[in-house]
Structure 1
Amino acid sequence: MTVQRANIYDDIGGSETISKLVDAFYERVGKHPDLIPIFPEDLTETARKQKLFLTQFFGGPNLYIQERGHPMMRARHMPFPITPTRRDAWLACMEAALEEAEIEEPYRSAMFERLRMTANHMMNTPE
């Protein structure tokens, strides 16, 4: 089965699944020693924005653009030192969250690959 990027959002269950994914992800981020230093203590607003972004990123409504404009993700992340270690920690949290949210294959792998490319693009600081 081939995954068509525009259909991932609907095919995985839309906003309910994105919410499960983001909630599971930030539960891990808030406890990860490599990530705690670059995230706020209260992750509520960060998670809300991530839900908007991932909705759009995986083919749902353009909620992020409607509220915040063009994502410009690299520019928005430049104030935070994102090292290879932090990228790997972020991806480990996301991989576990994809599993916890019970996202089925082939969607899980397709989503993780897109997120891996994004995480690689966000790195801005060497170890």
Structure 2
Amino acid sequence: MGAMRILLVEDDEAIRDLVTGVLEGAGYEVSTAADGQAALDMLPGVAPHAMVVDINMPGMDGLALLHAVRRDPAFAEIPALMLTAQTSPEDIRRSMSLGAADFIGKPFEARVLLRRLERMVRSAS
């Protein structure tokens, strides 16, 4: 089996580049999208093993993306880790109720992201 494919959905270019570097450094194959709609459009071609998703983005935010993905039988089982500065109890509850597998607040530690992502991907396979 080749590298695990991750779809990173993050509107902030600096954070997108940082997370991409962390994930690629750990051996993941990373595709990126700057908003939820771009991510939805990419899903069929990328066929990711997991998604890392910000909540607050222009256009379709991360929660709307998660809702749309869970409603599509072709992608409903893709685990999603929310990586976001939106860390209120309500944000966490909504993310988990929409089917997020995990939730990490920003700022984050790379080792925590990698450990939680690995656990999430392993439990989904």
More helix by share: 1
Q: TM-score, normalised by structure 1?
A: 0.30
TM-score normalised per structure 2: 0.31
**Larger strand proportion of the pair:** 2
Which structure: larger Rg? 1
